Amino acid sequence: MRLTLRTLLAWLDTVLPPAEQQALGEKVAVSPIAPQLIARIRDVVERPVLAAPRPDARGIADDANSVAEYLDNTLPADRLETFERICIESDMHLAEVAACHGILAEIAHDPEAAGPLDPASRRRLLEAIRRHMQTHHGDPEHEAAVSLARNLRATLVAGGDGELCDTVLGSLPVTQPRPANGPRQRAPVAAWLSAAVALLLLVGLGGFLVWSLGRDRGRKVAARPAPPPAVVAAEPRDAVPQPRAEPAAAPAAPSAEDEAAAPPVAAALPSPAAAEPAKVLPSEPAPPLAGTAAAPAAATVPPPPAVPAPPAAEPPRVPQGDALAIVAPAPSGEPAARVPPPAVGLPPAADAPADAPADAPADDDAGFVSGAGLLLHKAAADPAVHGHSGWVAVPQNRPLAPREDLIAPPFCRPEVSVGGVTIRLEPNTRATLTHDADGTPRLEVVFGRAIVRSSAAEPRLGITAGGLVGVVTDGLRAPLGIEVTLEQTPGADPATTSARVRAVVATTNSGIAWRQSQTDGTAAVQPLQGTAAQGVLEKGSRLAWDSLDPGGVAVQARRELPDWLAGTARPDRLEQAAAEALAGKATSDPIEKGLRELADDRRAENRVAAVATLALLGDYDEFVALLSAESVARKLEDRQWSRLVDMTVPLALARGANAAARLGQAFETRGPAGKGAELFAIARGFDDATLEASGAAQLVAALDAPELVVRRFAIRGLLEVVQPAEADRARYRPDRSQDLRRESVAWWRKQLADGRIRRAAGGAAP
């Protein structure tokens, strides 16, 4: 098979038969052009501001029919080379073809995505049309859209959905009088025009439905994973044998953190590709243990008989045709090493033992990092020095030390396997991995979230989450969620006020056998009140602990699972791309050097990932600099800015006095001149007394500040306090000019004068 643009797209989207996929991968590896074209394809598909050809455009590469024929492998041979040449020379055409090919490949992998709409989906579509039409009612420019909606209703009525259409679209305004009863004569030309319009409406509706179904799936096109490596480069026969490298020593024990709020924790790297499917299989419920109330025994259900899988359909084939070939040297006798497109994660360390397997650690009990993803751990034993915190990236498939402090950077979901248990750390999580006295692995989540599961027959895992300390002795066949949140009271001084800690251990599709213990796994001296010292936590329930009541625990039954635990959240392609960029910079020594370079990247999501990771490591300078940026090239959009603040500022204030002091110092040195103290005060928030005395007036006055970052923090503080209606929340836009802000600022001044800038009863933070 020749290496052409069409076959390259098929290889990227993994729609070729295995043999052809491997053969084409070898050609990609030895081609000097293919890797560059792959990187360019991903860049143009991800580029949000890139234009697209007009739907009614003409020309060999602009005509939608030509693109469809090319994707369907029916474009005439005499036009194929010209078409591919235009695509290779034009970013717009290359993005159009690559994105459409990726969407079609996703549909091919999941045929149900192109199935007909069910009545519920059709009803939601019609309801969305109705809301859109009512929103613009009265606008002359939308009269045509109203007419199209009526024609759509008539078409669907003819198809048997008359009652539904009358319900959804019957309330639209009537702009044309209904014809009188009785027969109506039409000229033949008018009849043909009406039929043509109806046909165009059906085509347009079909295109809209395909676009709606493929929009979310299209987000994964740009971040589609590269096909697995096909061939590993063979060592030349006449090569001189090299001495084997000695195994790397285990990382030294990390030094203690200087933060007062939390013990040391570990960092992990995101691995979207390694994430488990959202669907989980329930396991048999654990038997009641001693000391618990007897629960009715569940009947054992025999497993259903195995059903032979239907024979796999033959993958679609891509004919070679007369397409424009991508130049590549002829393969030699030895198979060439294939260079797959960049993927999230780090390559194995150069000092890995030569005789160690590439996909498994030497000692599973010690734990190892699995899958593709970035994992940070505290490897330096010496005290941290300026510019070097001691955090480094953990290579994949390498054994971990007996104690590991881990951090999962933003947008990263790394996985760690230890003792037969797989632990996935969610983004912005810090955790510690140790072992109990009897060798049971123990996971301590200092802040953030983790999901654990195991396929072992008798899995055991010690868990420490806030005041929840215990051992799971059964039930990890289904995912188990752990969450720890730190909250600081608005206006409180972190140097004198400890953060509120909340911890949750939540089951999903099966219960767990839970035994309270001490942090070394031995029996608990003073078990928490509210649950038995040893028993079964039923499926769908959770244990909840609050530092306001450190001696008790609440058992909450049948709670709805959050998206991060239920597996319903869709991966964001921009976040996945940012995770890849983050992993690429994690090899710098020290890691802070690479992160600061990424903080100046042209992509906003890469800058956000870099500065948020630096903040997790205790460096807030680049974070404040990015928040304060006002140039067009550096400034964040309001949504990006707010998300960055949400994931960084509350955590920095709650982690302890040292982290909060470093954040305040960063506001002084990297924020607007003379505004550091004001910014830090607004970021900390105001308690009720300070808010009534001067805080509310300070926030309203800051709405007219010349610095954008001050205005953004001010409206953020006002919205958190007042919690206004949605229409009032949208009144003020900090990025507007002073003239456009005048009316909204006057509205907030009136709220201040009327005494309405105060927290509702019970709305203050604890």
Asked if residue 577 has pLDDT above 60, the reply is yes
Could you give the maximum distance between any two Cα atoms of the chain, in Å? Answer: 97
* pTM, rounded to two decimals: 0.56
Which own/partner pairs from 107-110 qualify as long-range (CB within 8 Å, at least 24 positions apart)?
Answer: 107/214, 107/217, 108/15, 108/316
Q: Which of 57-71, 103-117, 443-457, 514-528 is predicted with the least confidence, judged by mean pLDDT? A: 103-117
> How many whole angstroms separate alpha carbon 685 and alpha carbon 149?
49
pLDDT-based confidence at 655, cuts 50/70/90? very high
Contact (Cβ atoms closer than 8 angstroms) between residue 447 and residue 462? no
pLDDT-based confidence at 297, cuts 50/70/90? very low
Q: Which of 78-92, 337-351, 725-739 is predicted with the least confidence, judged by mean pLDDT? A: 337-351
In eight-state DSSP terms, residue 116 is P
Average pLDDT over residues 654-681: 93
pLDDT-based confidence at 262, cuts 50/70/90? very low
Average pLDDT over residues 464-469: 95
- Alpha-helical (H) ranges within 655-703 are 657-670, 676-684, 688-690, 696-702
Asked if residue 453 has pLDDT above 70, the reply is yes
Average pLDDT over residues 167-174: 42
Average pLDDT, the chain: 75
Which pLDDT value is given to residue 22?
82
Q: Which two tokens stand for residue 322?
A: 């007369």
> How many whole angstroms separate alpha carbon 372 and alpha carbon 414?
8
Asked if residue 305 has pLDDT above 90, the reply is no
pLDDT-based confidence at 295, cuts 50/70/90? very low
Average pLDDT over residues 697-721: 94
Which own/partner pairs from 534-537 qualify as long-range (CB within 8 Å, at least 24 positions apart)?
Answer: 534/289, 534/290, 534/291, 534/292, 535/288, 535/289, 535/291, 535/292, 535/293, 536/285, 536/286, 536/287, 536/288, 536/289, 536/292, 536/295, 536/511, 536/512, 537/475, 537/505, 537/507, 537/511, 537/512
Asked if residue 753 has pLDDT above 60, the reply is yes
3-state SS class at 542 = strand
pLDDT tens, position by position, 527-537: 999 999 999 99
Q: What is the DSSP string of 417-428?
A: EETTEEEEEPSS
Percent of the chain clearing pLDDT 70 (strictly above): 67
C-alpha to C-alpha distances, 99 to 3, 73, 107, 212, 580, nearest whole angstrom: 19, 16, 13, 14, 20
Asked if residue 181 has pLDDT above 60, the reply is no
Average pLDDT over residues 4-25: 84
pLDDT tens, position by position, 47-59: 876 777 877 677 7
